[in-house]
Amino acid sequence: MIRLTDLSFGYRNQPLLFNGLNLSLETGHIYGLLGKNGSGKTTLLKNMVGLHYPKAGRATIDGVDTAKRRPDLLSRIFFLPEEPYIPDHTAKAFLETTSPFYPTFDRELFNGYLAAFDVPERRVLTKLSLGQQKKFMIAFALACRTKLLVMDEPTNGLDIPSKAQFRKVLASAVDEDCCIVLSTHQVRDLDNLIDSVIVLHDGTVKLQVQLDQLTEQIRFGNVSGTAVASALYGEAAFDGTHAILPNPERISSKPDLELLFNAVVSDSGILLNYLAKEEIR
Ligand code: ADP
């Protein structure tokens, strides 16, 4: 559905951030785009949705270049920036002016999301707290039911209960016809929420994988003693070494996204070489 093909992009008078980057995303998935601060997540997402224009290569949705910004395509994409613009409007006025751009907008769903997020509906939006403003925009973004929903750092600015609400609401919003992309540098926020991981590092996609396939090839667990030597990656902790291990016995384990991310961006390359051999990257 979404293809970034040989995409190159750099800001004016700056070296290229991406040089020949390739990425394919499909509907029916929630992707987590992971990367350190400054790794280019926002820039990549803006290329994806047609807010930045590639210097070379293409970003397409169903074969149409997003950079052309065709209205029929834009009505099927929602991009929620990390710090969305909040107009000095009531929710009602906001819906009246903005929802017509999205033919699939569902008012009932929106009301349900606002209730789940505990956001009052009648206040002027700029009078809401920053967290409430963010939740209002997330509720709107989800209720638009666009084919592609991209949220840049959606959990930034949310307190702990709101992060739990976000998780619950998002899980109920996924369907086979849409593709959701969430970026974060706070990897743990996406635990149990995403089914696929994309790690962006040094201007390239270091890893793109479905978590269920990944956990067939590797196993996450705590090890100690001689077992540490067999780890593909490990981090010492008070309760042993948190490790990523080969998984020939196909033992199921819960992926530790932070450990996975650290392993991928570490210099060792052992995990990536192993996965390349197992042909799942
Ligand atoms: P991330 O979202 O992963 O934190 P960004 O895509 O925001 O990363 O930024 C990637 C790099 O591009 C950073 O070095 C940042 O300083 C730079 N950058 C971002 N926006 C601009 C801009 N408008 N002009 C020039 N450089 C920019």
Domains located in the chain, CATH noted? 2-201 (3.40.50.300), 210-278 (no CATH)
Atom 19 of ligand 1 has which residue's CA nearest to it? 43
Residue with the smallest CA separation from ligand 1 atom 7 is 42
DSSP state of 251: -
Nearest CA to ligand 1 atom 27: 11
The finding on whether 203 has its CB within 6 A of some atom of ligand 1 is no
Residue appearing with tokens 């959990």: 155
Q: Which atom of ligand 1 is nearest to the CA of 183?
A: 2
Q: 254 and 237 in contact (C-beta within 8 Å)?
A: no
Q: Are 39 and 201 in contact (CB under 8 A)?
A: yes
| In the predicted structure, residue 173 carries a pLDDT above the cut 60 | yes
CB 13 near ligand 1, within 6 Å: no
By most ligand atoms within 8 Å of CB, the mutation choice from 11, 16, 79, 265 for ligand 1 is 11
Q: Give distance in angstroms: CA of 46 to centre of ligand 1.
A: 11
- Residue 181 pLDDT exceeds 70: yes
| CA–CA dist 41, 31 (Å, integer) | 13
pLDDT of 23-69, one tens digit each? 999 999 999 999 999 999 999 999 999 999 999 999 999 999 999 99
Whole-number Å distance between alpha carbons of 65 and 48: 9
CA distance 40 to 226: 39
pLDDT tens digits, 191-210: 889 999 999 999 999 999 99
pLDDT surpasses 70 at 215: yes
C-beta of 42 in contact with ligand 1 (< 6 A): yes
**Distance from Cα 11 to the centre of ligand 1, integer Å:** 8
Task: Quote the mean pLDDT of the chain.
Answer: 93
